[in-house]
């Protein structure tokens, strides 16, 4: 069973539907025992970093996620859920994340040419640099996925499994041991997105 963590941020309808579409058993939950019992964890999120980090801490679910991740349980952050795995975000100030990835989240603002619109919204191509990452089992280099974000992680971090380019190169997918993440929305990225989720679901299965 896959636990999609509900900490009051964002709409989880499409995410649950995506797992249903690939035949995976996924539940939306804020119950610590359910998360402990789950085989895998999804940390979703949209909106502002500070607000989401605060809600995650206030719910106490940050500790549960960290404990389960420390046991080696596969954890996948999606969009803002990816950013929350990092050490800090510089979105309106400097805010602390879960620190599972020792790098920071930076604003596009001031780093892109004036002709590029912010947020970065739309379909963009993935450049896969860690081909053996389980997320990429069923997709190809150059496949397009759907992004909506104004903040990013730099490409030159050790955990960057795939990047994308929007004026600058940035991290699109993260992989470090049992920690996985996507800056884009796999649940809105058509067949490619479903195949990324399928790759995640199959981790540890024979």
Partner 1 sequence: MITKRIIPCLDVRNGRVVKGTNFQNLNDVSSPVELGEFYSSCGADELVFYDITASAEGRQLFTDILKEVASKIFIPLTVGGGINTVEDFDRVLKCGADKVSVNSGSIKNPDLISQAARLYGNQCVVISCDIKRVDGVFHVFAKGGREDTGMEAISWIKRCVDMGAGEVVVNSIDTDGVKKGFDIDMLKAVCEAVNVPVIASGGAGSAEDFITLFKEIPDIDAGLAASIFHFGEVQISDLKKLLKENNINVRL
Which residues carry out catalysis? Answer: 79, 185, 187
Smallest separation, CB 202 to partner 1 (Å): 18
Q: Give the CA distances from residue 141 to residues 4, 66, 83, 144, 161, in Å, rounded to whole numbers and listed in that order.
A: 27, 31, 23, 9, 11
**Residue-level length of the chain:** 206
Q: Are 67 and 35 in contact (CB under 8 A)?
A: no
Residue 165 contacts partner 1 per CB under 8 A: yes
Could you tell me which stretch among 16-24, 54-62, 92-100, 154-162 binds partner 1 (CB under 8 A)?
Answer: 16-24
Closer residue to partner 1 (CB): 64 or 195:
195
Among 106, 133, 148, 157, which residue interacts with partner 1 (rule: CB under 8 A)? Answer: 148
The Cβ-side half-sphere exposure at 145, using a 13 Å CA radius, reads: 31
Partners of residue 162 on adjacent β-strands: 128, 173
Q: 């600058």: which residue's tokens?
A: 168
**Span interacting with partner 1, options 27-35, 88-96, 98-106, 188-196, rule CB under 8 A:** 188-196
Binding site for partner 1 (CB under 8 A): 11, 13-14, 17-18, 20-21, 46-47, 117, 119-125, 144, 146-148, 165-166, 187-191, 193-194
């Amino acid at each position: 069973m896959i636990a999609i963590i509900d900490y009051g941020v964002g709409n989880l309808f499409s995410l649950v539907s995506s797992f249903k579409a690939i035949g995976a058993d996924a539940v939306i939950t804020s119950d610590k025992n359910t998360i402990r019992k789950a085989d895998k964890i999804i940390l979703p999120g949209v909106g502002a970093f500070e607000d989401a980090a605060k809600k995650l801490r206030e719910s106490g679910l940050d500790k549960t996620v960290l404990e389960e991740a420390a046991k080696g349980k596969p954890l996948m952050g999606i969009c803002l859920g990816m950013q929350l795995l990092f050490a800090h975000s510089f979105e309106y100030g400097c805010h602390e994340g879960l620190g599972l990835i020792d790098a920071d989240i930076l604003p596009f603002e001031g780093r892109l040419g004036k002709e590029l619109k912010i947020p970065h919204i739309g379909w963009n191509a993935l450049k896969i640099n860690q081909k053996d990452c389980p997320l990429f089992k069923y997709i190809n280099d150059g496949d397009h996925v759907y992004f909506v974000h104004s903040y990013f992680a730099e490409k030159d971090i050790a955990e960057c499994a795939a990047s994308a380019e929007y004026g600058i190169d940035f991290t699109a997918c993260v992989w470090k041991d049992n920690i996985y993440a996507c800056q884009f929305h796999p649940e809105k990225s058509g067949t490619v997105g479903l195949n990324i989720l399928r790759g995640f679901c199959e981790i540890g299965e024979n």
